[in-house]
Each structure stands twice: as C-alpha cells, then as structure tokens.
Structure 1
Amino acid sequence: MSSATQVSQLPQNAFSGRRLRTASFWVFCGYATGQILRLLSNLVMTRMLAPEMFGIMALANVVIAGVQMLTDMGIQKSIIQSREGDQKRFLNTAWVLQIARGACLAAIVCGFALALWLIGSGLPASSVYSHPDLPIVLCILASSLIISGFRSTKSAVANRKLHMGRLTTIELMAQICAFMTMIVWASYSPDVWALVAGTVTASIVKIGVEFLWLPGETNRFQWDRRYAGEIFHFGKWIFASSLLTYWVLNGDRIILGLDITAREMGIYSIAIFVVASVRDTTNNILQKVMYPALSRALQEGHDHVAVYYRFRLPLDFLICGLCGFLAVAGEQIIWTLYDERYSEAGMFLVFLSVGMLGDRYRGLGLYYQSQGKPKKMMPIALWRAVLFTLGLPLALHEYGFFGAVAFLGIYPILTVPLLLYLKYRAGLMRVSREIGYTAFILPGAAAGYLFNWGVQYFIG
C-alpha cells in the first residue's frame, strides 16, 4: 500500500492535513506574535529603565533557565507520549512530581542566591555578580518556579490532542499582562523590580487561565507508584539529553567569552539572534505539533512515516530556503539593518546559516521520544557535544575568532551522516525526499541574490 493511500486512511479528526496545518499555523503565528510583543516590550522598557537593570535580569534569567533545563524530567512530554497519558491517576501523579520539581528548583536557585550574597563582597566591583540586588532578584524569581509547579496538566493534554488555539492564546495573554505590569510598575518605580514583577505576573496569569479555561478535570494530590516509575524511566534520558543540549546551545558564548572582547561578543550576538529566531520557530512547531502527532500515530498504529514527512516538507522548505537566502544575503542584511560597527556580523551570519541544514533532522529525536525510547537520542547528543567541545577550542586557538565562528557553522553538518544512518535504522529514510527537499536551497539562494540586487538598486 502506498504512503498516499495509508495517509488517506488516517482518522480525519486526528491526523488530517488540515488539522496539522491548523495546529502548525497557531504555533507559528503565536510565536511570531510573541516575538513582536517581546520586541515592543524591549523597546519600551529600555526607554524607562537603565541598562544595568537588564544586565541583572539577563543574568538571573540565565540561572533560572539553566536550572530548569538541567533538571528536566520530561513530565509534559511523558503525558503527551504515554498511552495512558490521559488517565486521571497518571495526570495526578505527574502533577505531584511537577510540584515537587518546582520546589526543588526554587531551593537550588535560593541556594545559589545565598552563595552570591555571602561571597559578593569578594567579587570584582564591576561584575554583575556582585550587584547587591541580584540575590534578592533570584529569590523572588524562584517563587515563579514554585508557581509553575502547580501548572495544570490540562495544558499537556490539550497539546497531546493538538488543541493549539487556546494554548497559544493563553501564552499571548500572559505576555500581554506581563508587559502591562512592567509598564505600570516602571512608571512609578523605574527599577529592576518592574522586570521581576512582569515575570511573576506571567506565571500567575498562565496558570490561572489554564485552570479556568482549558477543558478537563482539575488535578488533585494522588500518587501511583507505577506511573511515577514510568515518568522517571522516560525522564532520565530526557535529563541526560537536555544536559548535553544546554551545553551545545550555550557553550559557544562560554568558550568564546574566555578569549574575545565584549565588542566581538556583541557583534557575534547579532548573527546568533537571526539564526536563533529561525531555530526557535521550527522548534516550536516540532515540539508542539509534530511530537504529539507522531506520538498518537505510534500509539494508534497509523503510518508514522507519512506523518513525519508531512512535517518535513514545510520545515525543509523553511530551513533550506532560509539557509540559501542567508548564505547569499547575510552580509547585505547586516549592512542594511545595522551601522558599520556591526559589519563583521554579516560574515558570521553567512557561516552560521550553513549549520542550519543540520536542523532538518531534529524530528528524529522526537520520533524516539514518541516511541518512549528517548535513550536512543543519546548517540546524537553525545556526538554533537564531543564535536563541539573538542572542535571549538581548537578552532579558536588555531584560527582565531573567525575560524571559531566558521567551525560553529560547519560542525552541525558533521552530525548529518550519523543522523541519516539512525533514520535508516528507524525506518524513516526516504532517499528521494531527502534529496528533493534539499533543492529548496536553490530558490532561497535566488531570493538572496534578488534581495542583494534590490537593496543595491533602490538604496545604493
């Protein structure tokens, strides 16, 4: 039976192309709107607050995000993936584990804040770590981790069923409320606490609206040892993968920061911002739409390969097309949007855009998670981490800053042979589609040349 015939037999209410396109549309539009709101919030707040306020908040957010990622148990993913993920006892057990994790995270952050308070006087006065407000900011932000621990499992169930409209709306409502809180607070007291209040407000609004608006039963304290064991077994490999992922995504700035100036780091950050925006967009669609769709296809015995490639077509069009576009027009984009101080970011953007080709295969890890076998992601995560950890310092030492950035663009491609092999072993390989979808680079490159010509012709 052909893939087309198999796809046509999928339940229309579960895996129809229309349903998946609708879910993807909500996620994409929600993310795009969220980015616009973040940009607007940033522009407004930078005019109301001093720069050092953002420095304190940025460091505090790095600590919070790091603690969250490094203790990821995959509770939400367990609900989406498990065959019993819609059972009341399973959901209540997951909720109890989530609350316990939130409390543990808050304790870790408060412990770090206490250590900073105790050793703060011994740090350089110019260091943001020595700012007297940072420990207090961390402690208050820790409360948002406790609040988030009580988040209803209704959100994971809605994600499992691809009901993305309400989830996206709730995310945007939380952002808007946080934005308004920051503006009102900063109007009366222009200090870092305006930013802190916005973060805590977002957590409260998100949890409250999910509890009141999403369908489903309210969680209560209930424990099932068997379900807890299933979540822990699934989550231990999510934790290991998240640990390596956190290093690969953030280690570049940690390693480069040891050898380059603040000016060079600022220029590099401009290029990273553009590439990260593309990656965040695709990651949102993969995590919130492709993952639950694959999980349900495997649970119900449907053609998961057809579901996988149904997503690969638009994602490859986006990723390969933008890779071709940025490789050709990256320097012109930077020259057009920024002044000459940032001109070097154009070449960095060209280098980093090449590495985006490796993002085409991120769905393989989600396929393993959908099977309930996240440990199969470890060869990918380990190989990527080894290449990164050994290669970046060597490139920086031998070829300098430009050589290091070139390596950051090239090394994701070095993981592709392993990814293709694992795709073949998993039964996901369709050679004609892999080759055909790569051709999307060509219209992207053509659009890049057209952009360069248009800028030169109309702007000069």
Structure 2
Amino acid sequence: MSERDKVISAGSLVMISYGLSQLIRLGANLIVTRLLAPEMFGVMAMVTVLMHGITMFSDVGLTDYVIRHKDYKNSHVLNAVWTIQVIRGWLVFILLIGLSFMMSLWQTKYAASSGVYGDESLPIMIGVVSISAIFSGYNSLAPAVLTRELKRGRLELIRLLAQTSGAVTMIGWAYLYPTIWALASAGVVSSAVTLLLSYTMFNFRHRLEWNRERVLDVFNFGKWIFIASAITYLAQQGDKLFFGAKITPAELGVLSIAVMLAGFSTAMIDQITGKVWLPVFSRKSNDVKSLKSNFNKIRLGQDSLVSLFTLIFGIWSPHLIDILYDSRYTEVSRMLQLLLLSSFAMSVASTNKVLLVSLGETKVQMQVMFFKVLSLIVLLPISFNLYGITGGLLAVVISSYVGIIPQYIKMYSVGMLDFWKEIRIILPALLLYSWLIFGKDFAYFN
C-alpha cells in the first residue's frame, strides 16, 4: 500500500470511528439526561476535570515518544516506556486518593454550602474513578506502534468496544438506580475493557525494565511536553475550575453538555491530527519544502470542512437542543453557539501543533498554553463579573485565539508559515459565523 493510500485509509478509519464514538456518546447522554438530574452531571464534570488535571500534570509524552522513535519496535525501548507508564498510573491513583481525602476534610471543616466544590458526593466520586488510572497505566503500547504505521483498524475497534461497554453500564445503572454512581461507572468500565483488549487483540507483551539511559531519553524528549501539559491543563480546564467555585452543580451540568456538543468538531480535529497527520509529518520532517506543501494542502481541506460544519451546527443548534433535551437544558443552545467560535481556532492550533512536534519543536506548546492561561487569568474574572457565565465563555473563546500567536512565531522562524494560506478559509468563515449568530442579537450580553 502506498503512503497516500495509507493516509487515506487511516484518516477514513479515524473519522468513521470518531463519528460512531460521538453517536454512542450523544445517544448515551440523551438517555441519561432524562434519568438523572443536571447537578449530577455538574459534579461528574468536576470529577473529570480534577482527574484530568492530575493525569496531565504527569504527562511526559510517552505515546509521542514511541511514535517518533526511529527504533520504535525495539522491545527494550517499549519496556522502558511501559515501565514509566505503569509507575505514572499508580502515582496518579495515589494523588487522586489524596485529593479525595483532603477535599473531604475541607468540606467538613469549612462546611461549604455553595458551588460544585461544596457537594458532598464530590470526594467520594474522585476516589471511585481513580481506579481508572491504574488500568490505564498497564495498557499495552501496541496503539503507539500501530499509530506510527498508520494501522488504525483494530485500535478504533477497541476504542468503540470500550466506549460501548461504559455507555451500556451507565445507562443500565441509571435506569435501575438513578444516582450519580451511574455516571462514575462508565469511565471505570471503559478503562478496564481497554486494558483487557489492548492485550487480547495484539501480541505485544511488556515487562518491567528500568534502563537509566532510556528513561533519561524519554524525559529529555518529554520535559517540555510535561511542562506544557501542566500549563495546558490550566488553559483547557482553568475556566471549569473557576466556574466550580462560582456556579451551582446544576449550572455546571448544563455547561458540561454544551462543552460536550461543542467538542464534537474539535475532538475530531484532535483525532485526525494526532493519529494521522503527526505520523505523516514525522515521516517528511527532513524535507521542509515537501512538508510545507503537504501541510498547506491538508490545512485547506481541514479548514474548509471545519468551517462548513461549524456554520451549519451553529445555526441549527437552538432547534436541535429543543428537540434533543428537555426544558432543564434550554440554556445549552446559548452556551453552545458561543463555544463554537473556538472551533476555527482549534482547526488552526491543533494542526500547527503536530507540525511543530514533527520538527522536534515541543517547547513551543508550553508557550502556547502560557499565552492562553495568561489571557484567562486576565479576562475570565472580569468577563464573568460583567456578564456572568456568558462573559466567562467569551473569555475562553478569546484565549483560544491568543494561543495561536507563539505557534505562528515559531513557524515563521523555521520557514513553515504562509500567513495568507493560514487565513484564507478560517477568517472569512469566522466573520460569517459571528455575523449570522450574533450580528442581529446582542441578548447574550444583556
């Protein structure tokens, strides 16, 4: 199979798998929103945010390391990486248990009665879902190896089977016992199924192997990813940490659904860029001229699709929300339309990121997230105080565009920036979307 055919095949599998994944996710969400109260979704959203934080603060780019390694099939290389992954899984588990305990003590001492942090079920849920970190730590590295080779078939099947298992468990639990435990069960079951299938569907086997030289090589590669991941967490989840102290669990639950729906397009972009474009760019990283040509062609197609999807979704979202959800979730449509403004920025930033990673420029990602965090720190409190949740979401949207600045600076320095080709699709689409959605209605800020 030619390189082009491999790319088309891998990209198609990722898109089909992602589409099915989102259908499963949306279907499960539509069912459980009718069985459970909005505040339960708010509490679980915060559990996910906190767990995601501990996980990202320990990220050293293990998957990216394997994908980019010249000897990526070497058993000693894989064993060393897997050993680090196992240690990381247990570390995340211990930290989450500690966080659960400290939060329980904090609630007892200060008798918090408002905001998501004051919900008495939050510490318990953190402790329950922490078991997922151990499962993830023992996962096979087969996905990283096969991603490098653009062999996505079985990997996408595993992801769908794991997600389906979690969704079925959640729906069944919510139907029989409509409590927050139903939401907590999904992630744990999904992680366990992923672990099981990562070994039963592949012949990869690992053993603990601590090689100081290889471990240092991993950390040298991932040190900037580690720092960037920590800052990335604040950039991506800082708004939710802020909202957790300012709004009720029910309001955060409604917001979490808007974020989920808005994330359909951005998550698709992340899937394609990380699983398809990164391997493609990595193979051409020694030929800058060819790499730049491929990059611009890819961006043209991707930006066009993202823009079309965002325009259609944004215009019809109020009608879709009325059809799909009951009256408790009416505010989802307002939040969703505003959040979709970030889709254009994500199309640019995500592809730029993997381009720079393929060139070994991992340090710039830290700068990207630093810019986003700084803009959130400045804008979020002011916007929230002026316009409430809507103002806070506007600050989040602006921060997504601010983060592109350091990427452009680095791309220019390595000869990869063609500014006209960067904005030829995105800028007109952004202006058109803004006019269609907000041009005739400033009720968002009244």
Q: Please report the TM-score for the alignment, with normalisation by the length of structure 1.
A: 0.80
Distance 2:11 2:275 in 1: 8
The Cα of 1:345 is off from its aligned counterpart by 6.0
Q: 1:93 aligns with which of 75, 80, 99?
A: 80
> How many correspondences in the alignment?
436
Distance 2:44 2:183 in 1: 7
**Structure 1 match to 2:410:** 422
The Cα of 1:382 is off from its aligned counterpart by 1.8
Q: Does 1:393 align with 2:374?
A: no
Structure whose CA Rg is larger = 1
Which stretch shifts more, 167-176 or 429-438? Answer: 429-438
Distance 1:418 1:441, change over 3 A: same
Verify the 8 A CA contact 2:32 2:171 in the aligned structure 1: yes
Distance 1:25 1:437, change over 3 A: same
Distance 2:409 2:183 in 1: 46
What is the root-mean-square deviation in Å for CA atoms of aligned residues?
Answer: 3.7
The Cα of 1:212 is off from its aligned counterpart by 1.8
For residue 152 of structure 1, give the secondary structure of its aligned residue in structure 2.
coil
**Structure 1 match to 2:299:** 312
Distance 2:6 2:186 in 1: 34
Distance 1:258 1:130 in 2: 9
Distance 1:414 1:45, change over 3 A: closer
Q: 1:225 aligns with which of 212, 222, 234?
A: 212
**Structure 1 match to 2:364:** 376
Q: 1:287 aligns with which of 274, 280, 284?
A: 274
Partner deviation per Cα, 1:414-452 (whole Å, 9 max, x = no partner): 444543332222222234533543477299869x79xx9
Verify the 8 A CA contact 2:45 2:253 in the aligned structure 1: no
1:126-137 matches, within 5 Å, as: 134-137=122-125
Distance 1:317 1:206 in 2: 34
**Structure 2 match to 1:76:** 63
The Cα of 1:34 is off from its aligned counterpart by 1.3
Verify the 8 A CA contact 1:89 1:223 in the aligned structure 2: no
Verify the 8 A CA contact 1:384 1:415 in the aligned structure 2: yes
The Cα of 1:19 is off from its aligned counterpart by 2.0
Q: Which amino acid aligns with 2:224?
A: W
The Cα of 1:111 is off from its aligned counterpart by 1.0
The Cα of 1:106 is off from its aligned counterpart by 0.7
Q: Does 1:111 align with 2:98?
A: yes
Distance 1:45 1:439, change over 3 A: closer
Q: 1:167 aligns with which of 151, 155, 159?
A: 155
**Structure 1 match to 2:54:** 67
Q: Does 1:365 align with 2:353?
A: yes
Verify the 8 A CA contact 1:348 1:406 in the aligned structure 2: no
Distance 1:139 1:253 in 2: 20
The Cα of 1:306 is off from its aligned counterpart by 3.5
The Cα of 1:39 is off from its aligned counterpart by 2.4
Verify the 8 A CA contact 1:83 1:299 in the aligned structure 2: no
Distance 1:309 1:227, change over 3 A: farther
Verify the 8 A CA contact 1:321 1:444 in the aligned structure 2: no
Which structure's relative contact order is higher, taking Cα pairs within 8 Å and 6+ residues apart?
A: 2
Which stretch shifts more, 299-308 or 18-27? Answer: 299-308
Which stretch shifts more, 325-334 or 75-84? Answer: 325-334
Q: Please report the TM-score for the alignment, with normalisation by the length of structure 2.
A: 0.83
1:261-272 matches, within 5 Å, as: 271-272=258-259
The Cα of 1:361 is off from its aligned counterpart by 3.1
Verify the 8 A CA contact 1:96 1:222 in the aligned structure 2: yes
Which stretch shifts more, 72-81 or 112-121? Answer: 112-121
**Structure 2 match to 1:148:** 136
**Structure 2 match to 1:202:** 190
Q: Does 1:234 align with 2:211?
A: no
Distance 1:299 1:166 in 2: 30
Distance 1:221 1:265, change over 3 A: closer
The Cα of 1:76 is off from its aligned counterpart by 1.1
Distance 1:115 1:241 in 2: 26
**Structure 2 match to 1:457:** none
The Cα of 1:157 is off from its aligned counterpart by 0.5
Verify the 8 A CA contact 1:24 1:285 in the aligned structure 2: yes
The Cα of 1:100 is off from its aligned counterpart by 0.4
